[in-house]
Every structure is written in C-alpha cells, then in structure tokens.
C-alpha cells in the first residue's frame, strides 16, 4: 500500500470516530427483531387473524408448540377450563420471540381487547440466544402487548423446564432468562408466575409421564398447567372465585 492510499485509509477511519463516539445503537439481536416464517406457519398465522376478526376473544394464550399443544394432548383440559371463557390459542410450533413479535404486528391482536393474555415463549431461542437476549425478546413482546392492548392484563409464565435434569444446557439458559423475565411484572397490568416446579420430581428431574420428549407436555402435563395457573387466571379475569 503506497503512502497516499494509507493516508486515505487513516482519514476514513478518523471520519468514523464521531459516529462511534455519538453512541450509535448497536445492531439488534434476532430475539428482538420481528421475523416471519414460511409455509404452514403463515397459514396458521392467517387463521389466527381470521379468528380474532370474529371477536369474542377474552383470553389469549400466546406461545410456541407447547401452547399449540392445547389443541392436541391438552384439548380435553382446554375444553374444560377455557372454552367457556372465549379463549384463543395463538401458539405456533417452533416459534421464537422474534416470530411472536412479527405476528403481533401483523393481525394476531388487531381489533380485539382481551381481558387477559397468557404468555409463555423463549425455549426455542435457548439454542441460539443468551438468557439476557431471551429476556429482552420477552420484554419486547410485553411492551408490544401493552402498547396495542392497553386494557389487557398480561400473565407471563416462566419458560417451562426442559431436559432430563438440572444439567441440561438449555434448561440452564431458560432459568437464567426466567430470573430476568420475572422483573417485568409490575403487579398491576403485568404479572409473572413460575409453575415450573409443579412439573418436576423432588430431585428436579423431568418425568416422561409429564413431558414424553422432555419438552412437550402430555395430557397429564396440560392438566397440571391449567390447575397451577387457575387461581391467577380467575383473579386476573375478575371472576368471582368464592
């Protein structure tokens, strides 16, 4: 490299310094960057939009395949606990925080004002994102829900335990995220509940009776879920629990 070229390179770098000094925002990580998916995912997303246009959406469940499973292994329990409450299942298998963010921007909550939204998301991020990034993704979802649905209370559920025991790497990531997600609760419009221990044995291992693949719930697991959150759901819906 000759002297003229070297001087130009140094000058160019010097010109960039004011921008760096001004504290320009660093690129956002993917957990907080809304992103769609394709194929059957888009079809399910659009089915949600059609459903909410029908109205009568008092209770939302927002999440990934664990939430979608209310339509499978959890269907009997869903019918017992939530059908009469005009509940809508907004769960899509494989979703991460960024996919939920995109869905909320593209019709999933348009034109409705539910009493309560139950949110449980983040486990699919745990292979690619840090605990902090996952918590930031959940925080972005909560903020969007508060902005778009100001009258809707939010119940954030801690990300469920996964893997055989406490040594599971992704369970550890989720636990770290849960510690930060808990701080999002304000006790008024945003609440946090960790029901993870109800799925675990005394030694904190997961039984395949509860999660056959150590991630997704069995029929028994869905009943545990419903019963564990029922007092809080009834409270936040303003139901008479006497």
Token pair listed for 216: 């997704």
Could you say which of 79, 83, 186, 213 is catalytic?
A: 213
Active site residue 213: yes
| Length of the chain as a residue count | 242
Could you say which of 45, 99, 191, 216 is catalytic?
A: 216
Token pair listed for 127: 């292979």
Active site residue 64: no
Could you say which of 29, 30, 65, 165 is catalytic?
A: 65
Q: Is 61 helix (H, G, I), strand (E, B) or coil?
A: strand
Q: What sign does the CA torsion over 197, 202, 203, 207 have?
A: negative
Phi, psi of 227 (to 5 degrees): -70, -35
Active site residue 65: yes
What DSSP string describes 63-106? Answer: ESHHHHGGGTTTHHHHHHHTGGGTEEEEE-TT--HHHHHHHHHT
- Catalytic machinery residues: 65, 213, 216
């Amino acid at each position: 490299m000759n002297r003229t070229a070297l001087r130009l390179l140094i000058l160019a770098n010097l010109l960039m310094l004011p921008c760096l000094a001004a504290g320009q925002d660093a690129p956002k990580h993917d957990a907080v960057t809304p992103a769609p998916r394709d194929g059957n995912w888009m079809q399910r997303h659009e089915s949600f939009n059609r459903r909410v246009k029908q109205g009568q959406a008092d209770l939302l469940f927002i999440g990934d395949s664990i939430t979608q499973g209310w339509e499978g292994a959890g269907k009997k329990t869903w019918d017992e606990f939530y059908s009469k409450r005009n509940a809508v299942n907004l769960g899509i298998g494989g979703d991460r925080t960024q996919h939920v963010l995109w869905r909320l921007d593209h019709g999933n909550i348009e034109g409705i004002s539910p009493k309560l939204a139950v949110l449980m998301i983040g486990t699919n991020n745990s292979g690619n994102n840090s605990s902090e990034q996952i918590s930031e993704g959940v925080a972005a979802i909560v903020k969007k829900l508060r902005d778009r649905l100001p009258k809707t209370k939010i119940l954030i559920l801690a990300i469920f335990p996964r893997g055989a025991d406490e040594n599971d790497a992704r369970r550890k990531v989720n636990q770290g995220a849960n510690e930060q997600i808990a701080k999002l609760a304000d006790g008024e419009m945003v609440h946090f509940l960790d029901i993870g221990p109800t799925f675990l044995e005394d030694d904190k291992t997961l039984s395949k009776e509860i999660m056959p693949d150590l991630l997704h719930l069995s029929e028994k697991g869905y009943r545990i879920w419903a019963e564990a959150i029922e007092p809080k759901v009834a409270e936040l819906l303003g139901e008479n629990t006497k």
